[in-house]
Structure 1
Amino acid sequence: MYYLELGGEASDTSLALAEAEQAAASGITRFAPGLATAHVIRPERISMLAYTRAASTVVGCTEVDEAALSELVQSASFSRSGTVAVRARNVRNTADISTQSIERAVGAELVAQGFDIDLESPKHELRVCCSEDTAIVGWTVATRRGGFGGRAPTRRPFFQPGSMSPVDARAYVNIAAGRQLPGGTVVDPMCGTGGLLIEAGLCGAECIGIDVQTKMSTGAAKNLNRYLPDSQWSVLQADIHRVPLRAKSADAIVFDAPYGRQSKVAGDSVETLLSSALHAARRIGPRCVFIADDRYEALVETAGWRLDEHFSRRVHRSLTRVIHVLT
């Protein structure tokens, strides 16, 4: 059994669980605020998630109390040796505890069992996560790789206002194509500046982007060239009403639909653009995730898709994104 430390806010929990389930784990169950358990994980894929901070093998769980945690570690049998470090977290600040005190108490029990403490480069890391009145303890298996800040939209060679954050883009790519990564083909038929494609490529996908505007297709290519120098990708300038891709040529389609000022630039109504995009996606791949500023069940059904689930993600006061997951 494993436990997952979820990132984001409480409102992001469903999104985090869906991403982990599609890309890196199975048999997931909510355990406590900010925490979940899983029967099986893919450690190499945990590092590629956006909304999971770490995965650990479960040693045990108990109440949030130094004495109880010390007793749990004292009674456990560890078939490992070498240096260790204890990392305690107050998950989403929901527990009334001192993480430093817990680290000292648990560390003392490990020393009593013959371990040496090394906080800089330990061979093993024991994580203690406290959420409300529950604590869960486990040995770290994998942690999120991070580095999203270096790919912030404003740091890219080509930038346009309203670009999606790389953290959110990674999550949507994983929900769309996670089970096919690495190695699958991901298509973004409204690629804009290429943010979704960057994250797909970093996860090991072959990427194909399409945009009707020369400025966008050229700019997206510049961004992909910067962040995916060794990956397979292409960006095409084409009309969403005539997507130049063969049937069943992709493993997943993911796109951020235009809204607000973007929809006026596109010329057609949002509904017309979405209808064409969804019909094209249905032709070229078996799974689709699209992001919009509203729910579009009728368009989804008309295009022949089934809406598996949807999530709402508040970006700022005037924008809440709705993530549609289709099969």
Structure 2
Amino acid sequence: MFYVEILGMIPEMAKAEVQALAELGRGGVLGSDYLLVYGRAENIDALSRLGLAHEYGILVGSFESIEDLIEYSEGVEWRKLISGTFAVRKERMLNCSYEVENIDKRVGAIINSQGLKVNLSKPDTIVRIYCGRKLWLGIRIREFKGKEFDARKADKRPFSRPIALPPRIARAMVNLTRATREVLDPFMGTGGMLIEAGLMGLKVYGIDIREDMVEGAKINLEYYGVKDYVVKVGDATRIREAFPGKTFEAIATDPPYGTSTTLPMDRDELYKRALESMYEVLEGYLSIAFPADFDAVEVAESIGFKVLERFYQRVHSSLSRYFYVMRV
């Protein structure tokens, strides 16, 4: 069993990302308790790609009383789960329905009594207790620190433009495609989506209609150590011309939200033609964002896409958008 503590910014999208990666690990999500998502997977390492998450780990158990958690903890052979020193850390979620003030100390004392050494400042292993509708006990495998993603924000890239998806969201969009080999971004801009995909070990392809963006994306990809890429000048409404005879396992993209004064054609027409072009070259999943005032479901389904999921985000007072997951 695994657990994931997801971010609260777009929780339904975060849960869907966990499900997508759990599927890659030959498993799936079984349920959630506020921002804790849990499930099974044969290969839990698939979750190491997560974007919209604080951490993930091994789920030891769930309990409906503090007494049950303590009794269970007393019967666990902690030496089989803990490597080196340890610390127990608890998390009160907003729906916490138990009094857990000293529960971390009580569980820590049980583990310590088995001969394992406590280190509160720099432990080798973190034992986690989450309080929600139930009590959850786990062993952290990986924490996703914000500073790792902050270092890849648009203003930190050597070639920068102010409008770009946050790296965590870009990564989640790639993960929603279930890509295991490659991903295409036909509106790549400065390459934010491709940076996240490349850092996950995927081969990345990108096109942009502007040559300065293509050259800038190359600079950014190299800066972050992404080497397996193909980027070129190209039109998202004519992808086959840019990659003759090529089809793609997955597409993840964030088209521009501009007006007719900043786009090469009417915005809705651009979106429709781009979706048609993507449908021609796609083998699997598409993850894409559109402004909320664009009826993406009707347009995509008329082309042949199956719209599987969509997630709403209010960005600011003048922009709301949906993130979609589609399949050919």
Per-residue deviation, 1:40: 0.8
Provide Cα deviations, 1:74-116, integer angstroms capped at 9, x if missing partner: 243445264322121223x443778773322211111223322
- Of 272, 275, 291 in structure 2, the residue corresponding to residue 275 of structure 1 is 272
Provide the secondary structure at the position in 1 that maps to 2:261: helix
Provide Cα deviations, 1:104-134, integer angstroms capped at 9, x if missing partner: 2211111223322123444433111112x42
Residues 1:313 and 2:305 aligned together: no
**In 2, distance between residues paired with 1:166 and 1:73?**
38
**In 2, distance between residues paired with 1:173 and 1:280?**
19
Per-residue deviation, 1:14: 1.7
Query: Which one-letter code corresponds to 2:87 in the other structure?
Result: A
Mean Cα displacement is larger for which, 165-174 or 16-25?
A: 16-25
Per-residue deviation, 1:284: 1.4
**In 1, distance between residues paired with 2:99 and 2:157?**
40
**In 2, distance between residues paired with 1:306 and 1:168?**
22
Aligned pairs for 1:47-58 (under 5 A) are 47-58=48-59
Tell me which residue corresponds to 1:170.
171
Tell me which residue corresponds to 1:220.
217
Shift of the 203–278 alpha-carbon distance from structure 1 to 2, 3 Å rule, reads same
Provide Cα deviations, 1:15-43, integer angstroms capped at 9, x if missing partner: 11211121245220223101121111533
**In 1, distance between residues paired with 2:207 and 2:65?**
51
**In 2, distance between residues paired with 1:155 and 1:112?**
47
Root mean square deviation of aligned Cα: 2.3
Provide structure 1 residue ranges, at least 5 long, that are not aligned to the other structure.
none
**In 2, distance between residues paired with 1:292 and 1:148?**
23
Tell me which residue corresponds to 1:111.
112
Tell me which residue corresponds to 1:8.
8
Tell me which residue corresponds to 1:255.
253
TM score, norm. by length of structure 1? 0.87
**In 1, distance between residues paired with 2:91 and 2:39?**
19
Tell me which residue corresponds to 2:193.
196
**In 2, distance between residues paired with 1:41 and 1:228?**
30
**In 2, distance between residues paired with 1:29 and 1:44?**
17
Shift of the 247–29 alpha-carbon distance from structure 1 to 2, 3 Å rule, reads farther
**In 2, distance between residues paired with 1:317 and 1:104?**
45
**In 2, distance between residues paired with 1:47 and 1:236?**
30
**In 1, distance between residues paired with 2:60 and 2:209?**
53
TM score, norm. by length of structure 2? 0.87
Mean Cα displacement is larger for which, 164-173 or 292-301?
A: 292-301
Residues 1:240 and 2:241 aligned together: no
Query: Which one-letter code corresponds to 2:89 in the other structure?
Result: R
Provide Cα deviations, 1:217-268, integer angstroms capped at 9, x if missing partner: 2222221121134x2112211222322123452110111122135x532221
Per-residue deviation, 1:315: 2.1
Count of paired positions: 316
Tell me which residue corresponds to 2:89.
87
**In 1, distance between residues paired with 2:183 and 2:191?**
12
Per-residue deviation, 1:154: 0.8
Shift of the 236–98 alpha-carbon distance from structure 1 to 2, 3 Å rule, reads farther
**In 2, distance between residues paired with 1:8 and 1:200?**
22
Q: Is the 8 A contact 2:238 2:274 kept in 1?
A: no
